[in-house]
């Protein structure tokens, strides 16, 4: 698709959002027309007043006073209409922006994890926040100045033709210069604004990543490398921004030059016409005023075009996000999983994150209700990938995963995920109270139930030491809570929900050994009668598992319980013994 066609496609999408507010658009156009008409009426009144000054002592004062009253009324009405028009433009712009941002955020909730994993968080944030703000600025300027500018040009030409046709033709002949200038500036600025927007997204992504991982940066002395990366992006952003501003800054001097030519042409040619008696001095002053008003919109419209180029680029990035293919929706006849028994079957499962790199191949597993399945193996063998497939964060490429005999693609995602209780190595907390965070999976839980779950997770003692106890407000990163305390809160969530199936992916990795032993006992009670999948690097924590799956390169290479696998003296035995050497 050509650049021009791409821009037109984006403009069509913008117009689809604006269509909802057509009443206010029509009101804005009407008020713009009235404002321009009144503004153009004032020079006529001024010219009439000049013509009433005939000579020294020959001044029609009553007539001039009457004209001044009309001018005052026209100016007051113009101010009122402009205020209403600006209010309508603001209403249109910020409602359109609200709709765009709502659609972008709603699409984020529907996008598959594949998209989110493949794009920098900062770039996505930049699209939803910074790009939408830039789009809003361009849209507002477009509504505020574009309508008024176009109507002013048309209205001025009409009034000038009514006043004197030959002088008007001089103006019309010089006008194409403005279009040449505007076209050159528009073409030059679009590319630079596009590069600027992309670089800004990269910079936001880097800053977001560094702020969120500052401890890691300092721990590995990566400050200098990070600064170098930032400076490289910053220099590119500076270069693109300077070029974009340079081309856009040509607007004012170039259009002012054209304006001066138009004004001079009207003045010189009009003077000869006036000397020959073809026009009165008052009418000539009116035409000079019109010449000035006629050229001003070209200056404004050129500036609007520059801003609109930037806005269109940003809108394109937003629409690219909004139009991303969402995850496959639940089938209309999808089963709602209730009271799951916990029978889980993986049949001939193939999966890879990228087509050229095979990960899981011909994976088979059958789990009976209440069984505890441990998944072990070296880093990158596919342990967490199996969890992602069980939760249907990703769909299998081939084969099937069934729960209670039904393919999970035929089960609603909501009911499937509600049937699992999940504790990961990476903790997730949201801004709010400790109570709210534990209640995430069961909002209707009573305070007594929350406290009981916290006690079962051995989190009650540290919560009570917090300033407001269970009502202490924390930020989304947990604030001053340690990693172990945050993990205990996540464990308390699962203790509160008690779903029929459990997934524990390094659930106690950040907890001290003494507390871990207590939690393992609590987990043991919780797992009774519940199908459980346990991913652990510390093999001592999974000795009681009914089935241990030993994975390597996406395949199950060994399967059995702890004693059986040790007796085989295979890969599991090597892994287990390697943790106790010395």
Tokens for 212, please give them. Answer: 């969120």
Sign of CA dihedral 195, 196, 197, 201: positive
pLDDT, tens digit (0-9, with 9 covering 90-100), for 555-570 = 778 888 888 888 888 8
pLDDT, tens digit (0-9, with 9 covering 90-100), for 227-268 = 888 888 888 888 888 887 787 777 667 767 777 777 777 777
pLDDT band at 3 (very low <50, low <70, confident <90, very high): low
User: Would the pLDDT of 509 be above 70?
Assistant: no
Q: DSSP code of 325?
A: P
Range of weakest confidence among 23-27, 171-175, 358-362 = 171-175
pLDDT band at 462 (very low <50, low <70, confident <90, very high): confident
pLDDT value of residue 77 = 92
pLDDT value of residue 58 = 66
Range of weakest confidence among 92-101, 157-166, 345-354 = 157-166
The set of residues, in sequence order, having a beta carbon less than 8 Å from that of 96 and lying 6+ positions away, is 14, 17, 18, 21, 139
pLDDT value of residue 302 = 63
**Average pLDDT of span 205-215:** 76
Integer Cα distance of 170 and 176 in angstroms: 12
3-322: CATH architecture: Up-down Bundle (1.20)
Report percent pLDDT > 90 for the chain: 2
Using DSSP, state whether 503 is helix, strand or coil. strand
pLDDT, tens digit (0-9, with 9 covering 90-100), for 168-200 = 777 777 766 766 766 666 666 767 777 887 788
Integer Cα distance of 291 and 313 in angstroms: 34
pLDDT value of residue 76 = 92
User: Would the pLDDT of 1 be above 60?
Assistant: no
User: Would the pLDDT of 146 be above 80?
Assistant: no
Tokens for 570, please give them. Answer: 């295979």
**Average pLDDT of span 295-321:** 76
Beta strand 473-474 with 432-433 is: antiparallel
Integer Cα distance of 36 and 27 in angstroms: 14
pLDDT value of residue 582 = 45
Q: Where are the domains positioned within the chain?
A: 3-322
Look over the chain and give the mean of its residue pLDDT values, rounded to a whole number: 80
Distance in Å from the first CA to the final CA of the chain: 66
Alpha helix positions (H), 362-444: 383-390, 413-418, 434-438
Q: Which residues pair with 261 in a beta bridge?
A: none
User: Would the pLDDT of 80 be above 90?
Assistant: yes
């Amino acid at each position: 698709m050509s650049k021009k066609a791409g821009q037109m496609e984006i403009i069509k999408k913008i117009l689809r959002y604006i269509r909802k507010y057509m009443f206010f658009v029509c009101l804005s156009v009407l008020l713009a027309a009235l404002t321009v008409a009144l503004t153009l009426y004032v020079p006529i009144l001024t010219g009439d007043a000049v013509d009433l000054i005939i000579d020294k002592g020959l001044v029609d004062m009553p007539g001039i006073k009457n004209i001044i009253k009309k001018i005052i009324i026209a100016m007051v009405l113009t101010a009122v209409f402009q205020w209403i028009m600006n209010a309508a433009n603001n209403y249109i712009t910020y409602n359109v922006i609200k709709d765009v941002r709502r659609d972008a955020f709603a699409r984020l909730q529907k996008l598959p994890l594949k998209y989110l994993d493949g794009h920098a968080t900062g770039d996505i944030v930049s699209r939803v926040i910074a790009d939408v703000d830039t789009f809003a600025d361009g849209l507002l300027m477009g509504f505020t100045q574009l309508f008024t500018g176009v109507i002013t040009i048309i209205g001025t030409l009409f009034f000038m033709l009514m006043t004197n046709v030959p002088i008007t033709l001089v103006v019309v002949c010089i006008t194409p210069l403005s279009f040449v200038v505007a076209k050159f500036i528009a073409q030059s600025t679009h590319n630079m604004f596009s590069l600027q927007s992309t670089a800004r997204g990269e910079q936001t992504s880097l800053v977001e990543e560094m702020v969120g991982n500052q401890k890691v940066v300092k721990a590995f002395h990566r400050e200098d490398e990070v600064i170098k990366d930032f400076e490289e992006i910053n220099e590119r952003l500076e270069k693109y921004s300077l070029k974009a501003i340079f081309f856009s800054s040509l607007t004012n001097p170039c259009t002012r030059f054209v304006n001066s030519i138009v004004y001079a042409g009207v003045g010189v040619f009009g003077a000869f016409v006036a000397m020959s008696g073809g026009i009165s001095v008052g009418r000539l002053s009116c035409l000079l005023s019109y010449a000035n008003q006629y050229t001003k919109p070209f200056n404004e419209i050129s500036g609007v075009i520059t801003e609109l180029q930037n806005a269109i680029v940003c809108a394109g990035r937003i629409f690219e996000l909004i139009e991303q293919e969402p995850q496959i929706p639940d089938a209309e006849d999808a089963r709602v999983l209730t009271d799951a028994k916990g029978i889980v079957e993986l049949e001939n499962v193939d999966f890879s994150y990228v087509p050229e790199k095979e990960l899981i191949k011909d994976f088979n597993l059958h789990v009976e209700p209440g069984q505890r399945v441990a998944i072990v193996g070296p880093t990158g063998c596919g342990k967490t990938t199996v969890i992602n497939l069980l939760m249907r964060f990703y769909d299998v490429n081939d084969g099937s995963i069934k729960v209670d005999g039904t393919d999970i693609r035929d089960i609603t995602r909501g009911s499937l995920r509600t049937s699992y209780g999940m504790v990961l190595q990476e903790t997730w907390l949201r801004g709010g109270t400790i109570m709210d965070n534990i209640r995430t999976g069961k909002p209707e839980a009573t305070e007594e139930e929350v406290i009981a779950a916290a006690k079962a997770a051995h989190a009650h003692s540290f919560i009570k030491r917090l300033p407001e106890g269970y009502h202490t407000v924390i930020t989304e990163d947990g604030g001053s809570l340690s990693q172990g305390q945050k993990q205990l809160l996540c464990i308390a969530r699962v203790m509160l929900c008690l779903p029929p199936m459990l997934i524990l992916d390094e659930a106690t990795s950040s907890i001290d050994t003494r507390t871990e032993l207590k939690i393992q006992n609590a987990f043991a009670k919780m797992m009774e009668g519940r199908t459980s999948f346990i991913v652990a690097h510390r093999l001592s924590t999974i000795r009681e598992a009914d089935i241990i799956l030993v994975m390597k390169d996406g395949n199950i290479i060994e399967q059995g319980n702890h004693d059986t696998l040790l007796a085989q003296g295979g890969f599991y035995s090597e892994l287990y013994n390697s943790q106790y050497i010395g």
